[in-house]
Amino acid sequence: MSNSYRLAAYFAILELKRKYRRTILGTFWQTAAFGFFILLMGIVWSKVWNANIAEFLPYLSSGIITWTFISSSMNDSCLSITAGEGYIKNYQIEPLVFPLTAVIRNFLNLLHNLVIYIVILVYFQRGIDYDALVAFFIGLCILMPSTYFTCAVISYVVVRFRDVQQLIALFTQVALFVTPIFFETKNVGGGASKWYFDYNLLYQFAKLIREPLLNRLPDYWTYFFTILYLIFSYIIYKIILKKYTHRIVYWI
């Protein structure tokens, strides 16, 4: 499996280099584009919610960083195995290398986007203490495998049922606007909305990374819910892997 990790990392870096080949900024075009997007969205949405931009911009950018990683990984993994058809058939490379490549590539993009967040922190003279920094890395240790297991399952399902790709794309587009990424939960109110936020898996994963970046610690429910999903996704991943890996070559 270690060879698969190395191969996936190689493919991820190669794809990024190919995408930005012969450009002046190279892969930092991703950083520049993200910075421009966050600046515009921060100005617009802070006016919509009548929020202090010094408070809202870090909140927005930290949420978008996490959301972009999750949604892009899910969408990119959909056709990852199909795109690697030649490698699978001619070189007998494990199919799971390709959804792993999508996750690693988007994680590298996340690291590029964090540069913009650091700039925002410096500009507004905000900091992150040691406990929050540790919580951030713990959050990554939960988010990364959870995303990979989910994307691996998605990639297998899409190979068999191609329409699922369109459903995933639709889901990520709609979920962005009903998950507290552009807005804060206090803008919605209590009642049934609190129940919705507590059991919104995407929101809990966003909190897992966002809270430490805002120099706060995620609550116990966030850890419990995301770890529970990590265990669940791993079980489904192992079942799918064991039952359907040998059929992939016939489906692509």
How far is C-alpha 113 from the geometric centre of its chain's CA atoms?
12
Residue 84: pLDDT band (50, 70, 90) is very high
Q: Report the range of poorest mean pLDDT among 17-26, 186-195, 221-230, 234-243.
A: 186-195
Q: Is 101 exposed, middle or buried (0-12, 13-18, 19+ CB in 10 A)?
A: buried
Q: How many domains does the chain have?
A: 1
Residue 129 three-state SS: coil
Which pLDDT score is estimated for 153?
97
Rounded mean pLDDT of 81-102?
92
Which pLDDT score is estimated for 192?
60
Residue 125: pLDDT over 80: yes
Domain region containing 140: 2-251
Of the candidates 186, 225, 187, 188, the residue with the CA atom closest to the CA atom of residue 203: 225
Which pTM does this prediction carry? Answer: 0.93
Q: Is the dihedral of CA 79, 158, 226, 10 positive or negative?
A: negative
